[in-house]
Structure 1
Amino acid sequence: MRILVIDQIGLSLDFIMRCKDCGHEVRAWFAPREDGKRNDIADGFVTKVSDWRAAMGWADLIVLTDNSSLMKELAPYHKKGYPIFGPNAAGAELELNRQKGQDVFKRAGIKVMDSVEFNDYDKAKDYVQRNMLRYVSKPNGDVDKALSYVSKSPRDMVLMLDRWKVENPQNQGFILQQFRAGVEMAVGGWFGPKGWGKHFLENFEFKKLMPGDSGPNTGEQGTVMRYTEKSKLADKLLLPLTAHLHSIDYRGYFDMAAIIDEDGVPWPLEATSRPGWPCRIIQDALHVGDPAQWMLDLLHGEDTLEVLDEIAVGVVISIPDYPFTKYTGRDTTGYPVYGTERLATEDIHLCEVKMGQAPNERDGKIVYEKMPVTAGDYVCIATGTDYSVTGAQMRAKRAIKKIEIPNSPGWRDDIGERLKAQIPELQDMGYADGWKY
C-alpha cells in the first residue's frame, strides 16, 4: 500500500516505521518548525515530500496527525472522496471551539456543565469575582496548554487571569467551567462511514510533568488505556454523537474526556477530534497485525482492527528543556538514543528523532556510527502491556531501562498509580468494567 502521512506536529515517526516494516511504501510531509525552518524529524527514516498536495493522488491511504492546521486546505480533498483517515474541519470545530462542542453535546442529550466563553481577560475576571466559585479554564484548541488551569479558589483563578493578560494577550478564546469533583476518565473510538468500530478505548491521562501530578501541564505525560467492546462511558458520551458525526462525514479517532461525579454522572470536559499524542502511539502497542490496513478498511466501511485484551501504559521520555524549549531556545538535536539501533521495537516508540552520526563503543574503541539521534526534546514513548495496570507499568519501566540518552532524560515513574484508588471507585458506579489494577 502507498501511504502518505501529513504530519502537522511531528509525531508520526513510529507509525511510519511500523508501516515500512510491514512492506508499505510511505511518503511523509512534515510541517516546518515554528521558526519557519525545515523540520528534520524522521530524516533518514522516510522519503519526505515538500508539497503534500502533489502526493495526494499517489497515495492509497492518507493519514493526518492533527486538526490544528490544514483543515481548510484539505476540505476539497475530503469532498472529492480522497482516502483520508483523520480529522476534518467540522470535527475540529468541536475541539477548537469548546463552546460549540458543548452545544453539540447538549443537543445530543448529553448532560454538560455550565460554561462561559471569553476572549477578554478582564470580563472573565469580573465573572469570577461576581460568582466567587472555583473554576476550570480551558483554551480553544490544543495550542496553549498554559491556559488549561484547575483553580483551587476564586483568588488563584483571578491571579492566573491577570498573568495571562500580560503573558498571552492574543488568546484564541477560552472557557470557564465551574469546578466539579470526581474522577477523570476518557473514552474514544474509531468512526467510519458505518459508525463506530466495535472496540472502544477507555483511557486515563496523566497531564502534569512531574510525579504526583505536580508541575506544569504538558497535556499528556503518560496514559493508561484498555480496549473494550462494552463501555458504559461510551454508551453515555460517544453513542449519542453518532448522528452528528455521520452528518459531518467524520473519519478517524474521536475521544471524550469526562469527570464522573459521586452520583455516577459523566460530565464532558472536552472532545478530541483527532489522534491524541502520545495516546495514538500507545494504541499501537495494543493493535495486532498490519498498522495501516485496518484504517483503509474502516474508510470502506469494514471493521477489521484486532487488539490485545490487555492494558497498556505509555510514558513520555524527554530531554531538557522540555516542555519549555521553545522559550529557552536550547539546542536539543543530535543526542544519540542508544538502545534503538534495531529501530522499530515493540516497546520503544521514536518521536522527535532523526538518523545521524554519534560515537559508540565497539571492541574497546570509540567509533562514529549511524544511529537514531534526537531532533527535538520529545524523544520517545516507552510502553508496556499486561492484564493489570501494575504489570503494564512494570513492563514500561523495563523498556525505559533498555535505552540510554545523554543530557539527563526525564520521565514520570508513577504513570498509573492513582488508578489503584480510582478503578474500584469507578467500578462501584458501573464504569471501568474489566479493569484490574
Structure 2
Amino acid sequence: MKSKKSQTQLKEDTTKKKFLVVSRWGESLDIAFAISMEGHTVKMYIEDKPSREIGYGFVQKVKDWQKHIEWADIFIFDYTGYGKACAELRAAGKLVIGGTEYTDKLELDRNFGQDELKRHKIKVLPFKEFFSFQEAIDYVKAHPNAYVIKPMGETSEYKQLLFVGSDDEGLDVIRVLKAYEKSWGDDFGNFQLQKKVKGVEVSASAFFNGKEFLEPINITFEHKKLFPKELGVSTGEMGSSMFWTKDSPIFEATLRKFEGTLAKQKFVGHIDINCIVNGNGIYPLEFTSRFGYPQIFIQRAGITEPIGQMFYKIASGHKFKIQVKKGFQVGAFLVVPPFPYEDKKTFELFSKDSVIVFKKDSKEGVHPMHLKNINEEWLITGNTGIALLVTGTALTMRDAQKMMQNRISNIIINNVYYRTDIGDRWLEDSDKLWSWGLL
C-alpha cells in the first residue's frame, strides 16, 4: 500500500505545468504545440528575428523569455549555446531540459568532441584541422585518400557545405576546396578533413535525467541529401527512420561511456552520437547534444505517453522507462523554395504565407514546422521553407512508410518537394548490421 506522501507526490507530478520553451529558430514548435494540447500552459520565445512569426496562433509567444523565469515550472531549451543559462537556472532550483557548457562544446567544437571520445577510450577516425584552403590542398596531395570536409564554428550551420569525397586519391576534395576558396575566401573559417570509411551511417541516442540514461535507446538512420537515392546537396536533414530498443551494442560502445561524465555535468536532455559502423568497428563522427531535427518529432510519434509529462519527469530526475511503440517510425520533411538555401527574395516570391491544404480533415502524424495559424489555416512563415514533418509508424518498416506516404498524399502545398525513399536504407543496412553483430 502506498503511503500518503507517495500518493501526494504522484498527484503533484500529474498536475498541469507551465512550460517556457526557448528556441533558437522556432524548430520546437511541434513540441510546444503538443505540450499545450495536453492541457499544459506553454509560452514560447524565438531568438532569431526572421523566425519570430513561427508559432503565432499555435502557442502563446513572448518577446523576452527572461521576464518569465519566475512564472515557469519547467524550461525547454531546443538548441546548443544555452548551456550557461541552463546551468544558472538549475543552480537556482529550476527544472530544465537543456544542455550544459560542456555538452554545448561537445557538439560545437569538433576537435573537443573528438578529444573527449578519445579520453573516454573510444576509437575515432583520423582527422586534421585546417585554417587555410591551400594548407588543406597541400595535405591531400601529400596524403592521397578519400576525405570528408567538415566546416567548424558558425559555418558548420550551412549543412550543404559538408562534402563527402568518393575519390581514393582525394581529387574531388581538392576541387571542392578550390571552389570554396574562390567563393568564401577567409570568411569560411577553420574546418576539418576527416578520413572517410565505408559502412553504415547510424546514430544512437537517449534521454538523460541528470544522473543516468533512460531506456529505451533510440537508433536512427538519417537521410541528409536533398534528393532520393542520396543525390544532390547535403541538407541538415530530409527525414529519418528509427526504432527503439532496450539493448544496443553501438550505444554501449559510445554514449554509455559518457554516463558518469554527463552526470557530473548535471546534463538533462537528449544526446545523440552519429557513427559510421562496419565489420572493423564503430567510428563516432559527431555529437548532437540537444533535440535532433526531425529526430525528436519522429521520436514523439513513437512515444505513447504524454510528452509534457515525460519531459517533466526527465527534468525532475525521475528514473523510469519511456513508453514507446513497437516496430518502426519514419518521417519526411515537406519543404518549399528556397530550401536548403537562404534566399529571402525567393522565399517571399514562392513560399511565404502559402496555405497548407488538407484534402480530408485529419492531421494525425502531421507535425507543424515553420508555420503560423491564422483563422485555423496553417500558413508557411519563417525564412527557410520547412513546412511540415509527416510521420508514419508500424510494426514493419514498409508499413510505416506506407502510412507516412498516405498521410503526405492528403496534403496540398504549392511548390512542395520531399524525399520519397525515407526508410529504404533499412532493408540493406539491417542485413549488414546483423552480420556485424551490431543490432
Fold-level match, TM-score > 0.5? yes
Query: What's the counterpart of residue 414 of structure 1?
Result: 421
Please state if 1:256 is matched with 2:262. no
TM-score by length of 2: 0.90
Q: Quick check: 2:220–2:241 contact (8 Å CA) kept in 1? A: yes
- 1:413 shift after superposition: 0.5
Deviations 1:207-229 (A, max 9, x none): 00101100011121110011111
CA distance in 1, matches of 2:401, 2:358: 20
Q: Structure 1 pair 350/109, CA: closer, same or farther in 2 (3 Å)?
A: same
Letter in 2 for 1:334: D
- 1:136 shift after superposition: 1.0
CA distance in 1, matches of 2:330, 2:313: 27
Q: Quick check: 1:258–1:269 contact (8 Å CA) kept in 2? A: yes
Query: What's the counterpart of residue 292 of structure 1?
Result: 308
Deviations 1:334-356 (A, max 9, x none): 1111129968x431001001023
Calculate the aligned-residue CA RMSD, in Å.
Answer: 1.8
1:292 match: secondary structure: helix
CA distance in 1, matches of 2:267, 2:76: 14
Q: Quick check: 1:341–1:371 contact (8 Å CA) kept in 2? A: no
Could you tell me which runs of 5 or more consecutive residues in structure 1 were left unpaired when the two chains were aligned.
Answer: 357-368, 433-437
Please state if 1:388 is matched with 2:396. yes
Query: Aligned to 1:162, which of 169, 174, 178?
Result: 178
Query: What's the counterpart of residue 147 of structure 1?
Result: 161
- 1:303 shift after superposition: 3.2
Letter in 2 for 1:425: K
Letter in 1 for 2:54: I
Query: Aligned to 1:32, which of 48, 71, 77?
Result: 48
- 1:323 shift after superposition: 1.2
Deviations 1:253-295 (A, max 9, x none): 11111111223x1001111111110111111101112111111
CA distance in 2, matches of 1:195, 1:145: 31
1:288 match: secondary structure: coil
Query: What's the counterpart of residue 49 of structure 1?
Result: 62
CA distance in 2, matches of 1:125, 1:72: 38
Deviations 1:19-38 (A, max 9, x none): 111100000001233xxx56
Query: What's the counterpart of residue 363 of structure 1?
Result: none
Query: What's the counterpart of residue 74 of structure 2?
Result: 61
2:313 match: secondary structure: helix
Query: What's the counterpart of residue 6 of structure 2?
Result: none
CA distance in 2, matches of 1:284, 1:181: 31
CA distance in 2, matches of 1:227, 1:216: 29
1:312 match: secondary structure: strand
Matches within 5 A, 1:178-197: 178-197=195-214
2:42 match: secondary structure: strand
Q: Structure 1 pair 29/340, CA: closer, same or farther in 2 (3 Å)?
A: farther
Query: Aligned to 1:267, which of 283, 288, 305?
Result: 283
Matches within 5 A, 1:66-77: 66-67=79-80, 69-77=81-89
Identity %, equivalent residues: 28
Query: What's the counterpart of residue 364 of structure 1?
Result: none
Q: Structure 1 pair 275/38, CA: closer, same or farther in 2 (3 Å)?
A: closer
Q: Structure 1 pair 309/221, CA: closer, same or farther in 2 (3 Å)?
A: same
- 1:247 shift after superposition: 2.5
Please state if 1:217 is matched with 2:234. yes
Q: Quick check: 1:340–1:372 contact (8 Å CA) kept in 2? A: no
Q: Quick check: 1:190–1:196 contact (8 Å CA) kept in 2? A: yes
Query: Aligned to 2:224, which of 187, 207, 215?
Result: 207
Query: What's the counterpart of residue 107 of structure 1?
Result: 119
Please state if 1:349 is matched with 2:375. no
Query: What's the counterpart of residue 380 of structure 2?
Result: 374
Q: Structure 1 pair 269/328, CA: closer, same or farther in 2 (3 Å)?
A: farther
Q: Quick check: 2:203–2:219 contact (8 Å CA) kept in 1? A: yes
Query: What's the counterpart of residue 232 of structure 1?
Result: 249
- 1:375 shift after superposition: 0.8
Q: Structure 1 pair 82/122, CA: closer, same or farther in 2 (3 Å)?
A: farther
Query: What's the counterpart of residue 423 of structure 1?
Result: 430
Letter in 2 for 1:354: K
Q: How many residues align?
A: 413
- 1:374 shift after superposition: 0.7
Q: Quick check: 2:211–2:262 contact (8 Å CA) kept in 1? A: no
CA distance in 1, matches of 2:22, 2:182: 35
Of 38-47 and 75-84, more deviation after overlay is shown by 75-84
TM-score by length of 1: 0.90
Please state if 1:303 is matched with 2:319. yes
CA distance in 2, matches of 1:61, 1:151: 44
Q: Quick check: 2:160–2:236 contact (8 Å CA) kept in 1? A: no
Please state if 1:16 is matched with 2:16. no
CA distance in 2, matches of 1:422, 1:250: 32
Query: What's the counterpart of residue 177 of structure 1?
Result: 194
CA distance in 2, matches of 1:412, 1:269: 24
CA distance in 2, matches of 1:119, 1:303: 45
CA distance in 1, matches of 2:261, 2:191: 24
CA distance in 1, matches of 2:247, 2:113: 25
Deviations 1:70-103 (A, max 9, x none): 4445442243342110222210101111111111
CA distance in 2, matches of 1:172, 1:296: 39
1:203 match: secondary structure: strand
2:286 match: secondary structure: strand
Could you tell me which runs of 5 or more consecutive residues in structure 2 were left unpaired when the two chains were aligned.
Answer: 1-16
Q: Structure 1 pair 140/246, CA: closer, same or farther in 2 (3 Å)?
A: farther
Q: Quick check: 2:82–2:99 contact (8 Å CA) kept in 1? A: no
Letter in 2 for 1:119: F
